[in-house]
Amino acid sequence: MLLALEAIYGDDLVEFRSKTGLRCFQIYIRYDLHDGAEVCAKFDSANGNGECPDDDCTEQHEDKQHDLSYSCNIQHLPPLILTCVLPQSYPSKEPPYFTVTAKWMDGPSVLKLCEMLDTIWAELPGQEIVYQWVEWIRNSSLPHLGFGKKITLGYDISAHKGDNRAISRSLSLESVIPWMLSYSSKKCYQVFLEDLHMCMICLSQSKGSNFIKFPCQHMFCFECMETLCRMHVKEGTLFQLVCPDTKCTASIPPYLLKRLLSEEEFERWDKLTLEKALDSMSDLVHCPRCATACLADEDNNAQCPKCRFVFCSLCKDPRHPGKPCLTLEEKLLQQQASGKIAARGMVEEMLSIQSLYSDARSCPKCRMTISKSEGCNKVVCIKCGQAFCFICGKAIIAGYNHFDRNCDLYEEKEKDTTDWRKRLDQLEAKNRRRAQSQPVGSTIKCPKCRIKIHKGDEKYVYCWACQASYCTLCKKEVQFSGFRSEHWGSPQCVGIKF
């Protein structure tokens, strides 16, 4: 008989050796709660502080004075233990000696189970009764006790006296409820590891041990999530490290990222996360000289703690109290006036800047500069994930309604560089005339050492002191390789007077 029970219940049956020669064993009976159950624990506030024993519980106040109850959902109940000792006269004359242990049940409930086991023996005398007992407990004991979708545990009372075979709850509900929740959680995880699941990314089936389950309860295979997380960390798109489910935006917690990323990748994620947090601080700027993080004051001024440079946090120039920040055009004009840059060089620099900014916009959320080479005018910032219109720079929450009312979805913004190009053409013509006004055979000054040298060629001159050749139009040193005429008058040639 015992061999048959071992074949049916497997590891849930444990046999013990008895000195008396009687056969003794325990069977762990596990309840199948397909849809889970709500466990409601009643507390008497007069005997306790009335605090919820677990964070997952939901407090429910009873109408009775001084009574409180807490409810929580449980998927798996702790097993009931049936301990049996088979007498010599079993099964012909005597039933097994047994005890029923349910550490979470009330005493009266366990007593009812013992009485029902006696009733079953009385109805089936002389038969192998253990199997009938186990199956009745597993399938019918909860309805017999009035436990359906809701299991109510009564007040803490002293140990039930009368039937020593009924071993019920001995600890307080403040200890039993967290224990039941912990058991249910571990059992759910064990079931998850053993079951087959489908990854909605690669559409392949595998055991739960090959899956990653997020706190939002969505799960995907380890290989897909590893590839996805590594790609986003490599590209720096941390805002996309969220649950891949189309209707979920829950972030992937750091403890799961540590499992999915290598040590170097996790360090990079940690560094990028810190940088993102610092960039989100409106009063934090970086020193334009040494890139050290600094805090700006109310007047938009900051002092670098490393190099002690005091600068404006808006334009990154040296501090200029009472004066507005210079635009890029004003800065170039200032450099040209001081002789640091030639007139044509200033114009070309301005053309280059205008051309660059005509294809770039700043994100309205994080202010990161974004360039668009082609496609529609709805763009998404790769740093913070903010969508915005590339024409007007307005943030877009969702959809394309903005382009129905305001801007065109595929309109290209024209580059307004006409005035600067006209000025560039005027400078070229003027400098060419000045260069040609000094005919071949005249004396000019070396662009570098300023000694007088003979102009023996209309386009290039040679200085014996410097041992170098210079262009008569732009005064730049020329390294000849091939035909001389390739440099003079070319787009790289900047025209200024000697």
Full DSSP string of 8-73: HHGGGEEEE--TTS-EEEEEEE----TT-EEEEEEEEGGGS----SSTT-EEEE-SSTTEEEEEEE
- pLDDT tens profile 144-203: 988 888 888 876 555 456 788 999 888 888 888 899 999 999 998 888 888 999 999 999
Nearest CA-CA partner of 82 in 132, 48, 157, 127: 132
Is the N-terminal amide bond of 96 cis, ω within 30° of 0? no
Q: Residue 257 — very low, low, confident or very high, per pLDDT cuts 50/70/90?
A: very high
How big is the CA angle at 425 (ends 420 and 430), to the nearest 5 degrees? 125
Under DSSP, the state recorded for 463 is: E
Nearest CA-CA partner of 496 in 357, 342, 316, 389: 342
pLDDT for residue 58:
43
Q: Between 318 and 485, whose confidence is greater?
A: 318
Give the contacts of 496 (CB within 8 A, at least 6 positions apart). 342, 343, 344, 431, 474, 475
pLDDT for residue 84:
92
pLDDT for residue 433:
67
pLDDT for residue 495:
42
> What mean pLDDT do residues 314-332 have?
79
Q: Residue 131 — very low, low, confident or very high, per pLDDT cuts 50/70/90?
A: very high
> Does pLDDT of 298 surpass 90?
no
- pLDDT tens profile 421-462: 566 566 666 666 666 667 777 778 888 888 888 777 767 888
377-385: Cβ within 8 A, 24+ apart: 377/403, 377/407, 377/408, 377/409, 377/410, 377/411, 378/402, 378/403, 378/409, 382/235, 382/236, 382/237, 383/236, 383/237, 383/239, 383/276, 384/239, 384/276, 385/237, 385/239, 385/240
The rounded distance, in Å, linking the Cα atoms of 40 and 154 is: 9
Percentage of the chain surpassing pLDDT 70? 77
Q: Residue 21, by phi and psi: left (phi above 0), alpha (psi -120 to 50) or beta?
A: left
Q: Between 49 and 91, whose confidence is greater?
A: 91
> Does pLDDT of 49 surpass 60?
no
Q: Residue 475, by phi and psi: left (phi above 0), alpha (psi -120 to 50) or beta?
A: left
Mean pLDDT of the chain: 80
The rounded distance, in Å, linking the Cα atoms of 109 and 113 is: 7
Q: Residue 343 — very low, low, confident or very high, per pLDDT cuts 50/70/90?
A: low
Of 100-114, 229-243, 278-292, minimum mean pLDDT range: 278-292
Helices (H), 52-162: 107-123, 130-144
The rounded distance, in Å, linking the Cα atoms of 176 and 191 is: 22
Name the CA radius of gyration of the chain, rounded: 42
The rounded distance, in Å, linking the Cα atoms of 74 and 37 is: 6
Helix axes 418-436, 343-358, angle to 10 degrees: 160
pLDDT for residue 497:
36
Q: What length does the chain have?
A: 498
Nearest CA-CA partner of 141 in 39, 35, 31, 41: 31
Percentage of the chain surpassing pLDDT 90? 24
Name the one residue in this structure whose structure tokens are 């986003």. Answer: 232
The rounded distance, in Å, linking the Cα atoms of 277 and 293 is: 12
> What mean pLDDT do residues 353-365 have?
70
Q: Are strands 360-362 and 310-312 parallel, antiparallel or unpaired?
A: unpaired
Helices (H), 218-262: 222-235, 254-260
pTM above 0.85, yes or no: no
Q: How many CB atoms lie within 10 A of CB 106?
A: 19
Name the one residue in this structure whose structure tokens are 């170097």. Answer: 264
Helix axes 2-9, 130-144, angle to 10 degrees: 50
Nearest CA-CA partner of 275 in 233, 309, 212: 233
Q: Residue 325 — very low, low, confident or very high, per pLDDT cuts 50/70/90?
A: confident
Under DSSP, the state recorded for 392 is: T
> What mean pLDDT do residues 408-425 have?
63
The rounded distance, in Å, linking the Cα atoms of 207 and 197 is: 6
pLDDT for residue 353:
65
pLDDT for residue 260:
92
With residues binned 3-state (H G I as helix, E B as strand, rest as coil), the percentages for the chain, rounded to 5, are: 35, 20, 45
pLDDT for residue 25:
92
The distance from CA 97 to its chain's CA centroid, rounded to whole angstroms, is 58
Nearest CA-CA partner of 96 in 134, 119, 128: 128
pLDDT for residue 494:
47
